[in-house]
Amino acid sequence: MGKQKEKEVKTNAMRILEKNKIPYEAIQYECDEFIDGLHTAQKTGAPVEQSFKTLVVQGKSREYYVLVIPIAEEIDLKTAAKAVGEKSLEMIHVKDITKVTGYVRGGCSPLGMKKNYPTVIHESAKKYEQIYISGGRIGTTLKVNPLQLAETVHARFEDITAVTHTEE
C-alpha cells in the first residue's frame, strides 16, 4: 500500500510553462467561487503591484485579444485598441469567457487558452523579477517571470491602463 499523497492539479498553464522549461511557483488557495484579484492577492500574500489580471476583449474586426494588467488598475480600451491596431475594443461578455478561452471567469490565464490570441502585458510587469497571474483555474495562482511569460505567449509590453494621474 503506497502513501496517498495529495496530487497537485496541473492546469494547461502549468503544462505550457513546464513544456517550455520555464520555472514557476504554483500557489493554491481555498476559494469556492470567483473573487476579484485584490482578494486573491490577500489570500495568497502576493504583493498587489505584482499581481496581474487577464482580460479578454474583442476588436471591431471581431478578433480577440488578451490583456494582462495590474489587478488594481482599469483597462483603457482606447489605448489598448491602439496597441493592438484596432479602431475599438470591448470586453467580452462573461457568458462568452469559457467559449472563447476555455477558462472560467476568475480562472482565466494568459497561458493555455483555446487559441493563441494576440497578447499585451502591461509594461509595469517588466519592473519585477516575478509577477502573479491566474493559474488557469479558480484557486490557483502562478508566480512567473514576466519576460519568460511574454516570450511564451508571444506578448508585447505596452501601457494599456487608464491614466490615474496627469502628466502635463
What is Dmax (Cα atoms) for the chain?
70
Q: What angle do CA 59, 133, 136 make, to 5 degrees?
A: 80
Residue 73: Cβ within 10 Å count = 17
Residue with cell 490570441: 117
Give the residue among 72, 133, 146, 75 at the shortest CA–CA distance from 106: 133
Residue 119 contacts residue 66 (beta carbons within 8 Å): yes
CA 147 to CA 71: how far, in whole Å? 18
Q: Which of helix, strand or coil describes residue 110?
A: coil
CA 52 to CA 38: how far, in whole Å? 10
Residue with cell 492539479: 9
Q: Give all domains of the chain, ordered by start, each with its CATH number.
A: 21-158 (3.90.960.10)
CA 101 to CA 113: how far, in whole Å? 5
Residue with cell 491566474: 134
pTM: 0.89
Q: What is the pLDDT along the chain (168 residues), one digit of tens a residue?
A: 444 444 567 999 999 999 999 999 999 988 776 668 888 888 888 999 999 999 999 999 999 999 999 999 999 999 999 999 999 999 999 999 999 999 998 899 999 999 999 999 999 999 999 999 999 998 899 999 999 999 999 999 999 998 654 443
